[in-house]
Chain A
Amino acid sequence: MIDFGLSDDQAALQRAARELLAAECPPALVRETGASADGVPRGLCRTIAAQGWLGVLVPERLGGSGLGTLELALLCEELGRVAAPGPFLATQLVIAALVRAGSAAQRTAWLPRLVAGEAVGTLAHLEESDRHDAGGVALRARKARGGWVLSGRKCFVPEAQAADLLLVAARSRAGSGERGVSLFLVERGTAGVRVVPRRTMDPTRRTGELVLDEVAVPAGALLGAEGETWPLLERLCDLACVAIAADSLGGAQRVLEMAVDYSRVRHQFGRPIGSFQAIKHIAAEMVADVEPARSLVWWSAWTQDARPKEAARAASMAKASLGDVYSRTARRSVEIHGGIGFTWEFDLQLWFKRAHASELAFGDPVWHRERVARLDGY
């Protein structure tokens, strides 16, 4: 059987998302959100929640739509197409963690609120070392008074400033390997929790640090088995990679279209610049980058649910490739636009900056290529 294409339902979902976001998330909203205090476009978030998009990974019995990672990727592609700001992806990661490993009590307490968009979640796994392997998790968790006490600092936490629920990776046993990594659900309001917003070049997304100063959490805050959740954390990061790759695909497609549209209306030497081969060939190279990448993104999403053994490799391949493709396509688009593409007023800069932020988040292309080499046994 070779059926490597979208079903009618999947295509319809993507089409509907595209139409909705074209209306609900214009560049003006992206700019306005970028200038706001917490980076959360509340109206857009309500719309997204009302569509049920936050529940695509949640089984129907838990209040979701019971779809899959491919559907999530299609939505992310459309969000990337409009450079949508907000905590959609960050919240999805916590939802996925709860669906995969949450206790009944944890799910009951948080899933309905997260899926309804009433609470924002995020994943705090990196630290100052910026290491993406298990050795990067050094923040200490020690047992105390029937619960746990967490102390340390997490870095590069997506949308930290808006999060109500933080999924924190910590080390609950001595060592630096994969054993000993635990995940904790930490509420923003807990005593000793402090969020320090960071300034990034990407106006469409936020990042921050999480400072935990002797934060006491109950035993029920532990998600999954104590000391054994590195594999789960890796799967969550793979999911993030797929989602960002899909977002990058949508963004790359959009900046390509912007360049082609502009090349038709901009005249120099008495004709549209799009009639010059110098411009056409850059545009064709963008197509040759972006079109095949779509297959890679679909496959990386599909493997997360259908081929668990290939999921890590596929996620790294998609993340590495789309990181390069999006940044390169954005750069080529700026070149085709010329001077106007370099200005603050022209919207292309929003996508250009998002492209480079996406390239780095959850492991840059170099990191993921090394992971591919390792997984392929070189």
Chain B
Amino acid sequence: MDLSDSPEEATFRRTVRAWLGANVPRRTRHDALLPEPERVTRAKAWQRRVYDAGWLALAWPHEYGGQGADVVRQTIVNEEWVRARAPQLIGGMGIQMVGPTLIAHGTEAQRRRLLPKILTAEEIWCQGYSEPGAGSDLASLRTRAELCDDQFVVNGQKIWTSNAQFADWMFCLVRTDPEAPKHRGISYLLVDMHTPGITVRPLVQMTGDPGFNEVFFEDVRVPRANLVGQLHDGWTVANATLFHERNMLSSTTRTQQLFQRLVRRAQRHQRGGRPASEDAVVRQRLAGLAIRVETMRLEAYRQLTDTIRGRRPGINASVNKLVGCELNHDIARAALEILGDYAWLAKEDDRAADGGLWPIDFMFALGLIIGGGTAQVQKNIIAERGLGMPREVRPAPVAAVPGAAAPGPPAVPGTPGGAA
């Protein structure tokens, strides 16, 4: 067991730290509080600077815009990110979800065309998974793609599509074989969001922000070259992406930053005539959260070590997602408790603490307990695949599309959903 930097790593860390010290933007308002066009523009510019400095995708190969370094360097960068309170990156779904998926499953042409622009933030990605009738039971999705010559013609609807309002690309699950059992007739497509026939309709989130959308497809033509993996075998690729998504949503970097912000607020906010951080109950809350944050940081090291040693990750991503998202929510909840009457002042009110960020964090964190596979879906995965507990007795499967033949056995290993 060893967590100390080698001399080269120590030098690297100093370089990253110095760069962040000189380049992290001084912010009067947290990015999440900025109006959307400005937020997106600034966030893209920030990611570009980070990329140009060489701190992005350290473990990706050179030919796709990465640094060809090891995951330890990436971890050092992440640690310094926390320390410098540096802003998160807007291209997260590209960098952390579709990027690794394309490196593993994409064609060489797809990688060379798409990966570099993910890193430079020239192209932002969104995820086309959920549909009105396919939430936890994702594999029952009905958006149809028919192969005509060398093009797919896509018709249907996606929902809860975060960032679709400004995304350039979507990685999308479509039904290509309605006759097959529901997990076996799905394909994974890369869709240019500027293609004719795509309509994006914003859905306003509980927080009041236009974070996600409905996306409608009407005879949208997608080149066959944009298929990832085998035709009808998109479920395998989809699961690879889901694995990365769970880990992204439980990013310990973000959680550590959130917790730092909580401690600073507790030290400044007066409660009962003294700083809240001197209150015995508040101290219990803070220390309890500190322990959970530290535990997840260490757990990430353990999992990273397992990866380096070539072990399979098993159900780690589901545990991370379940625990990490709940932890983020509890951190925000603790802030609300500390702030008392000030807690629920809106961001438009100039008396709101930290610009009114905490109620937004609190609600947003609840959204992420649901998104990316609900907590209940993760628990099913942990129990069934991790512990080998018996699968639910399921009702006869519903046909994927009207008029389809009754599908075969529904219980295919690798279900991200499961009945919840």
List residues of chain B with CB within 8 A of the CB of A174.
none
Q: Which of A292, A294, A376 has the most CB of B within 10 A?
A: A292
Contact with A along B376-420 (1 / 0, CB 8 A): 101110111011111111000000000000000000000000011
Tell me if A373 and B302 are in contact (CB < 8 A): no
Query: Does any Cβ of B come within 8 Å of A105's Cβ?
Result: no
13 pairs from A and B in contact (CB 8 Å cutoff) = A1-B9, A7-B1, A277-B420, A280-B389, A284-B386, A287-B387, A288-B323, A288-B382, A295-B301, A296-B295, A317-B291, A373-B287, A378-B278
Query: Does any Cβ of B come within 8 Å of A198's Cβ?
Result: no
Knowing A4-B305, A5-B309, A272-B390, the reply to whether A281 touches B376 (Cβ < 8 A) is yes
A10 nearest CB neighbor, chain B only: B1
User: How near does chain A come to B7, taking the closest CB pair, in angstroms?
Assistant: 11
Selected from B75, B287, B319, B391, the residue in CB contact (under 8 A) with A370 is: B287
List residues of chain B with CB within 8 A of the CB of A345.
none
Tell me if B284 and A370 are in contact (CB < 8 A): yes
List residues of chain A with CB within 8 A of the CB of B4.
1
Q: Please report the number of residue pairs spanning A and B whose Cβ atoms sit closer than 8 angstroms.
A: 158
User: How near does chain A come to B339, taking the closest CB pair, in angstroms?
Assistant: 16
Selected from A4, A279, A284, A293, the residue in CB contact (under 8 A) with B378 is: A284
List residues of chain B with CB within 8 A of the CB of A275.
389-393
Selected from A1, A3, A272, A280, the residue in CB contact (under 8 A) with B379 is: A280
Knowing A3-B2, A370-B280, A372-B291, the reply to whether A285 touches B379 (Cβ < 8 A) is yes
Query: Does any Cβ of B come within 8 Å of A320's Cβ?
Result: yes
Query: Does any Cβ of A come within 8 Å of B227's Cβ?
Result: no
The B-contacting residues of A in range 268-309, CB under 8 angstroms, are 271-272, 274-275, 277, 279-281, 283-285, 287-288, 291-296, 298-299, 302, 306
Tell me if B308 and A378 are in contact (CB < 8 A): no
Query: Does any Cβ of A come within 8 Å of B198's Cβ?
Result: no
List residues of chain A with CB within 8 A of the CB of B290.
317, 372-373, 376
A369 nearest CB neighbor, chain B only: B287
Knowing A1-B72, A4-B305, the reply to whether A274 touches B295 (Cβ < 8 A) is no
Query: Does any Cβ of B come within 8 Å of A48's Cβ?
Result: no
Cα-based distance from A6 to B309 in the complex (angstroms): 11
Other CB < 8 Å A-B pairs besides A3-B3, A260-B387, A274-B390, 20 of them? A1-B72, A2-B72, A2-B305, A4-B305, A275-B389, A277-B419, A279-B389, A281-B380, A283-B387, A284-B322, A287-B315, A293-B295, A295-B295, A296-B294, A369-B283, A369-B287, A370-B287, A373-B286, A376-B290, A378-B277
List residues of chain B with CB within 8 A of the CB of A271.
390, 393
List residues of chain B with CB within 8 A of the CB of A317.
290-291, 294-295
Q: How large is the interface on B (under 10, 10 to 19, 20 to 34, 35 or more residues)?
A: 35 or more
List residues of chain B with CB within 8 A of the CB of A293.
295
Query: Does any Cβ of A come within 8 Å of B6's Cβ?
Result: yes
Query: Does any Cβ of A come within 8 Å of B90's Cβ?
Result: no
List residues of chain A with CB within 8 A of the CB of B301.
2, 4, 295
User: How near does chain A come to B412, taking the closest CB pair, in angstroms?
Assistant: 18
Query: Does any Cβ of A come within 8 Å of B306's Cβ?
Result: yes
List residues of chain A with CB within 8 A of the CB of B3.
1-4
Cα-based distance from A378 to B266 in the complex (angstroms): 9
Tell me if A5 and B306 are in contact (CB < 8 A): yes
Tell me if A4 and B390 are in contact (CB < 8 A): no
Tell me if A263 and B305 are in contact (CB < 8 A): no
User: How near does chain B come to A13, taking the closest CB pair, in angstroms?
Assistant: 14
Query: Does any Cβ of A come within 8 Å of B5's Cβ?
Result: yes
Cα-based distance from A378 to B286 in the complex (angstroms): 9
User: How near does chain A come to B240, taking the closest CB pair, in angstroms?
Assistant: 22
Knowing A4-B1, A5-B309, A287-B382, the reply to whether A369 touches B390 (Cβ < 8 A) is no
List residues of chain A with CB within 8 A of the CB of B72.
1-2
Q: Which of B1, B5, B288, B309 has the most CB of A within 10 A?
A: B1
User: How near does chain A come to B131, taking the closest CB pair, in angstroms?
Assistant: 23
